[in-house]
Amino acid sequence: MLHERHGLGPLGVGLSLTTFGIASVIFGRVAGRIAGRVGLANLIGLALALGGVGSLVISRYSSLPLALVVIFALGASFMLAHSSVLTIATELAAQHRGVAMSLVAFAFMGGGSVGTMLAGRMIDARGFEAYLVVWGLGLVLLAALGRMALIGHRSPIAAPALGTVGVGSTETVSEPA
């Protein structure tokens, strides 16, 4: 899409997609603090909605600067949602964190594989823009459903479990009152 719309070569596309990784690193470091301020349920909803809206925007508009901003937002969205879901999963099975993390990893990796296969088929059949619209709407719907499912989630969160505050950190965050 970056190649077709903006004439970028492989290096330009690679550098553009690096903004996703930069956002992931930045928001991976602050996800615990953000969760402490807004709560995990709100953060998951906001992160998924950000990803959904970003996908819808990039499906319709072809400005390269806007594409870079959206790619950055998608990286932030992924990291914030991923960290929060992992934290909730390990909280639900505090005595069996290894099992919980294994199941989450299985769901992410298995879902990612199946999702990539289905996305490829849809892109071949309908085009990349149509895929982005379906993906974006799906994320917005998931944000709403996830937010409803997590209403009342109030357990304390140890920020290091998020893997985002830093090794050896003793900072603790909890859901806002």
Task: Give the Cα separation of 123 and 132 in Å (integer).
Answer: 9
CATH classification at residue 135: 1.20.1250.20
Q: Is residue 163 part of a domain?
A: no
Residue 172 lies in a domain: no
The tens digit of pLDDT for each residue in 51-89 reads 999 999 988 887 888 888 999 999 999 999 988 888 888
Residue 19 has pLDDT above 90, yes or no: yes
Whether residue 174 lies inside any domain: the answer is no
Q: Is 85 left (phi over 0), alpha (psi -120 to 50) or beta?
A: alpha
Q: What is the pLDDT of residues 108-153, one digit of tens each?
A: 889 889 999 999 999 999 998 999 999 999 999 999 988 787 776 5
Rounded Cα distance, 52 and 102, in Å? 26
- Does 169 map to a domain? no
Structural domain span for residue 17: 2-153
Residue 153 host element (H or E): none
